[in-house]
């Protein structure tokens, strides 16, 4: 895989904890969908992507962190919403980005694909990304607010 150019989006901001309506985000998590993106998959698994897989040089791959099913990807997306790890920018009712952290500590980022359907695609964050540390810290701090 071709290395990234190390230019990470400096505009990303997470909604402040005092601005999070955890009940509303939990309700929204029930409507969220995970579509996936062929550029972040080496093996298509059950994602039903077209083309089935099409990894692009420089893109981080979900396969590398062992996210192989749509169900698992959706659960991680829902946890990020419930924990309030959402962008301060919205498209309609949907945050532009949602962040989550896997059980092994791997931070993930998801981007909105469709604000009409609430569909996202996600990928593992690169450890060189300065925003990684913010995601991990917020996950630890905000997990206590989430409702299962």
- Flag whether 107 is in a domain: yes
- Flag whether 9 is in a domain: no
Residue 15: per-residue pLDDT: 96
- Flag whether 8 is in a domain: no
- Flag whether 82 is in a domain: yes
Tell me the residue range of the domain where 110 lies: 18-145
- Flag whether 12 is in a domain: no
Residue 29: per-residue pLDDT: 96
Q: How far apart are CA 135 and CA 9, in angstroms?
A: 14
- Flag whether 11 is in a domain: no
DSSP characters for 65-79? GT---HHHHHHHHHH
Residue 12: per-residue pLDDT: 93
Q: How far apart are CA 96 and CA 10, in angstroms?
A: 14
- If the chain, 148 residues long, is cut into consecutive pieces of 10 residues, what is the mean pLDDT of each piece? 62 94 95 78 62 55 68 94 96 97 94 94 89 95 73
76 near 56, Cβ under 8 Å?
no
Residue 103 contacts by C-beta under 8 Å, 6 or more apart in sequence? none
Residue 120: per-residue pLDDT: 95
- Flag whether 5 is in a domain: no
Angle at 6 between CA 5 and CA 11, to 5 degrees: 115
Backbone angles phi, psi at 23, to 5 degrees: -65, -45
Residue 146: per-residue pLDDT: 67
> Could you give the number of structural domains in the chain?
1
- Flag whether 26 is in a domain: yes
Structure token pair of residue 108: 């993930």
Structure token pair of residue 63: 């396969």
């Amino acid at each position: 895989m071709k290395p990234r150019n190390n230019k990470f989006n400096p505009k990303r901001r997470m909604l402040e904890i005092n601005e999070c309506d955890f009940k509303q985000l939990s309700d929204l998590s029930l409507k969220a969908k995970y579509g996936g993106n062929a550029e972040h998959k080496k093996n298509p698994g059950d994602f039903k992507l077209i083309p089935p897989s099409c990894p692009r040089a420089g893109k981080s791959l979900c396969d590398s962190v062992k996210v192989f099913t749509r169900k698992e990807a959706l659960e991680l997306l829902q946890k990020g919403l419930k924990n309030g790890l959402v962008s301060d920018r919205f498209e309609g009712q949907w945050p532009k980005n949602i962040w989550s952290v896997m059980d092994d500590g791997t931070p993930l980022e998801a981007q909105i694909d469709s604000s009409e359907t609430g569909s996202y695609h996600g990928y593992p964050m690169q450890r060189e990304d300065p925003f990684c540390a913010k995601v991990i810290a917020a996950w630890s701090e905000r997990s206590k607010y989430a409702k299962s």
